């Protein structure tokens, strides 16, 4: 188990470009808004985006916490760690797989998380080194799969689900992103990337659709400016969807631990 962390939730997708990082940061912030202590680990070594999404300035570095250990940065009330806090993000990471897996493992084990209820891990796309390292080294409570309703994205989402099944990580559900576009001029709605894909995949793998998110300009603009939707519009409809997803994730994770007796020590 990672010290200082009660539950770990991986957010993954089979392919890039489906809005996984946007979903992860908003889901983490929604969980914090529900009253939990939350951390976010950006495991995308080649393309870390959480620093910008959380509004952490370029060049801000984590504080040392003893030998080879560092404190996570705080942003919008959550603890965060990312490769972007450790290197110059303008320089490409020209690394082979083992170096990437090693860097990920270091971030996992050398970050001094402070009493987290939930640690969300923003996974890189695909089913490679980092996914295997995570499955082998860390007891992950569950995975959330992000997809668009497009057939080609669903094909890759299936691989993501299969991968977690193979390594015995429960799939908590599917988030269908960019599911509907509503025209800001006339209000006409159109499923640009197709429809019903998340539902089909959820039925096929006996999991659930945690929620559907619209394809809107504001979601993208808000994360790009470092104030994700859950922070920028706490009373908005999209935030309500993220809060609902966070509650479902929490219920499922807590429900899994219900098989054996729980022992608590009161002070």
**Residues 163-222: pLDDT tens digits?**
898 888 999 999 988 887 777 788 787 777 767 667 777 788 788 889 989 888 899 999
Give the integer Cα–Cα distance in Å for 83 and 126. 18
- Where does the chain have alpha helices with state H? 20-33, 50-53, 97-110, 129-137, 151-166, 197-204, 217-224, 229-232, 237-256
Give the integer Cα–Cα distance in Å for 13 and 27. 15
Give the integer Cα–Cα distance in Å for 246 and 261. 25
Whole-number pLDDT of residue 102: 87
Whole-number pLDDT of residue 132: 79
Whole-number pLDDT of residue 75: 97
For residue 6, say whether it is annotated as part of any ligand binding site: no
Whole-number pLDDT of residue 59: 85
DSSP 62-101: PPB-STT-BPPEEETTEEEEEGGGTS-TTS-----HHHHH
For residue 17, say whether it is annotated as part of any ligand binding site: yes
For residue 21, say whether it is annotated as part of any ligand binding site: yes
For residue 166, say whether it is annotated as part of any ligand binding site: no
Q: Are 41 and 81 in contact (CB under 8 A)?
A: yes
Domains of the chain: 5-254 (3.40.50.300)
Q: Which residues of the chain have pLDDT under 70?
A: 151-153, 194, 196-197, 257-267
């Amino acid at each position: 188990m990672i010290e200082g962390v009660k539950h770990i939730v991986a957010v993954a997708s089979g392919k890039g470009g489906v809005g996984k990082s946007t979903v992860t940061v908003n889901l983490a912030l929604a969980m914090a808004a529900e009253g939990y202590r939350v951390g976010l680990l950006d495991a995308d070594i080649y393309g870390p985006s959480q620093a910008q999404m959380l509004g952490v300035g370029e060049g801000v570095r984590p504080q040392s916490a003893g030998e080879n250990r560092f404190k996570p940065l705080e942003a919008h009330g959550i603890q965060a760690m990312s490769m972007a806090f450790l290197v110059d993000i303008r320089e490409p990471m020209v690394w082979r797989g083992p170096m990437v897996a090693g860097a990920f493992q270091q971030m996992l084990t050398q970050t001094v998380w402070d009493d987290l209820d939930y640690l969300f891990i923003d996974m890189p796309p695909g089913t490679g080194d980092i996914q295997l390292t995570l499955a082998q080294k860390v007891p992950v409570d569950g995975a959330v799969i992000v997809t668009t309703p497009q057939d080609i994205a669903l094909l890759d989402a299936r691989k993501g689900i299969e991968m977690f099944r193979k390594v015995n990580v429960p799939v908590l559900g599917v988030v269908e992103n960019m599911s509907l576009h509503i025209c800001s001029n006339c209000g006409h709605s159109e499923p640009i990337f197709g429809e019903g894909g998340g539902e089909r995949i959820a039925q096929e793998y006996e999991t659930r659709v945690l929620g559907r998110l619209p394809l809107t300009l504001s979601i993208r603009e808000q994360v790009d400016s470092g104030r994700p939707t859950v922070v920028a519009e706490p009373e908005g409809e999209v935030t309500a969807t993220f809060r609902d997803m966070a509650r479902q994730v929490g219920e499922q994770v807590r429900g899994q631990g219900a098989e054996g007796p729980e022992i608590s020590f009161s002070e």
